[in-house]
Amino acid sequence: MPEIGEVARIVHYLHIHLVGKTLAVIKAQHDENVFGKVGTSAAEFEKALTGKKVVGARQQGKYFWLVMSSPPHPLFHFGMAGWWKIRNHETAYYKPSKHDESTWPPKYWKFTLQTAEPPKSEHAFVDSRRFARIRLIDCAAEEMRNVSPLKENGPDPVIDKDILTEEWLVQKLQTKHVPVKALLLDQANISGIGNWVGDELLLDAKIHPEQYSNTLTPAQMKQLHKSIHYVCSTAVELRAESDKFPETWLFKHRWGKGKKDDPQRLPNGEKIKFLTVGGRTSAIIPSIQKKTGDVKADLHGSSEENEGSDEDEEAIPKKAKKAARKNQKAKDEDEPETDGKPAKPAAAKSKKRAAKDEEEPEAKPAPEDEPPPSKRAKAKPKAESNGIPKTEANGAKASKLSKRRAKEADSAPPKTNQPQEQETEEPSRRRRAERVSYAGM
């Protein structure tokens, strides 16, 4: 991600090739992420800037903007992979990009613009990952830093040295209980410090990135203040040209992580190790950056990564994640569910209890038709004289009765369809006839 030094590089080129010129032609293609998520559209961008003059270019941390002859002013953030290209001029940092002058606009362009005055200058804003943001801020130019999103960002280490004093930094560190690198990466605290700048200044200060900010000693906080200004000012002054960085900086040796032929060492032989802090891969020199206070990894488990790992934004190391998933799976298999809800975990057994369980035979499960254990204890089945429990004897008797009834039903004559009244009427006639015969005797 472009950080404070890379953004300063682009602002430098804007002063050379764009400031003082009129924007004659602007073409923008809408991207819902780049424009839409911050309330702007490509059509609004074209309409707002076409025909206006660029009178300045400014920066705060990772943000930069063009000061126009009248509002609104365009505000830019590169995100993870955004960049500003100028035709026939190299603006790339670290390693020069390969020019292809026959292809314009360049790949992944979001907008292009062309100046009116000769020599005409053509520019393009590109972003392959679509994390960049382009806004239109409708306010006076001198009020840009007093409106959102700039007002929510902390002071710039280079521009705001009068704000980012040692006393200011000490208060910020002591009032927060977070890993010191996570505090530095939070743009609400300090603007412009990203992953590689944060690693560089922590190495210069000899501070472990995971150490909690409020556990730093006064001497460490004093040195951290010096390191912030030294690293950020150097990156801006050199416009992020890595070839000019000091040989002792991590930046020149850290990018071989995962490559077998890369020694991953500083020129003096110090080995570079990698761990994850604040969701980002951090490069450290363990022999220099000692733990002098509470460290998150010691309290919540190690966060060191394998040197060959190429995960860049992993909050939890791979081994810890794998072990946690394995333990959770075993736990889920051991714990039954009750009425669709996971059963509460049983309390840990004592050693004596565990030994007793091993000696005692496992109890047989109760039949489904038996009452709960609490009721069974009160109403025990009575035993018959022959030693057979009453429940079993009754069961056998019921079984014999069922068989006998089934046998009688098979041998009985089939029923007729004669009405029920006739079956009851015939016996009554017979009884009357018998009464008459008895009376005549």
Q: In terms of Cα–Cα distance, which of 139, 161, 210, 215 is closest to 181?
A: 210
Q: How many residues does the chain have?
A: 441
2, 74, 155, 317: which one is catalytic? Answer: 2
pTM strictly above 0.75: no
For this structure, is 62 an active site residue?
A: yes
Burial class (CB in 10 A: 0-12, 13-18, 19+), 28: buried
pLDDT in tens, 347-371: 444 444 544 454 444 444 444 444 4
206 to 34, 246, 287, 426: CA distances (angstroms): 38, 17, 10, 117
Task: Reply yes or no on whether the pLDDT at 7 is more than 70.
Answer: yes
pLDDT in tens, 318-346: 444 455 556 555 545 554 444 444 444 44
Task: Reply yes or no on whether the pLDDT at 257 is more than 70.
Answer: no
Task: Reply yes or no on whether the pLDDT at 35 is more than 70.
Answer: yes
Token pair, residue 303, equals 């966060």
3, 200, 210, 305: which one is catalytic? Answer: 3
- How big is the chain by its Cα radius of gyration, in Å? 42
Q: Count the Cβ atoms, other than its own, within 10 Å of residue 319.
A: 14
pLDDT band at 61 (very low <50, low <70, confident <90, very high): very high
Q: Using CA atoms, how far apart are residues 291 and 43, in angstroms rounded to an integer?
A: 53
CA 185 from centre of chain: 16
Task: Reply yes or no on whether the pLDDT at 161 is more than 90.
Answer: yes
Q: Count the Cβ atoms, other than its own, within 10 Å of residue 68.
A: 19
6, 21, 62, 209: which one is catalytic? Answer: 62
Task: Reply yes or no on whether the pLDDT at 77 is more than 50.
Answer: yes
